[in-house]
Amino acid sequence: MKLDVMYFAWVRERIGIPRETIETEATTVAELVKELSAREERYEVAFSDLDALRVAVDQDLTDFDAAISNAREVAFFPPMTGG
């Protein structure tokens, strides 16, 4: 399936692009992370410490074990620092 993957803040800087559309069979966020990490070193580095990352599926904050089978958009970013 086609999936939009987005990166924000230092995750975006480390991976080098703000978003990409990928073809994936991953059914959970964790599987997607594994797939991306296996691609290239820059992904592996960005995803090396999942405790330092947050994930949103279709613009809702969720966990790394969340299902993405019907998702359109997955975003990875560091803990938020608004206000």
Partner 1 sequence: MRISVQEAAFDAGAELNAFQAGKVDMGAVVSFSGIVRDLPEAPLRHMLIEHYPGMTERALTKIAEEAMSRWNLGDVLVIHRFGQMAPGDQIMMVATASPHRKDAFAAADFLMDYLKSRAPFWKKEVTADGADWVASKQEDEDALKQWEQD
Instruction: Identify the residue among 23, 49, 70, 82 touching partner 1 (CB under 8 A).
Output: 82
What single letter denotes the amino acid at residue 40?
A: E
Q: Which residues of 24-39 are buried (b: 16+ CB within 10 A; e: fewer)?
A: eebebbbbbbeebbee
Q: How far is the CB of 25 from partner 1 (least distance, A)?
A: 25
Question: Does 79 interact with partner 1 (rule: CB under 8 A)?
Answer: yes
Is the separation of the CB atoms in 62 and 29 below 8 Å?
A: yes
Q: By C-beta, is 25 or 49 nearer to partner 1?
A: 49
Instruction: Identify the residue among 32, 56, 71, 74 touching partner 1 (CB under 8 A).
Output: 56
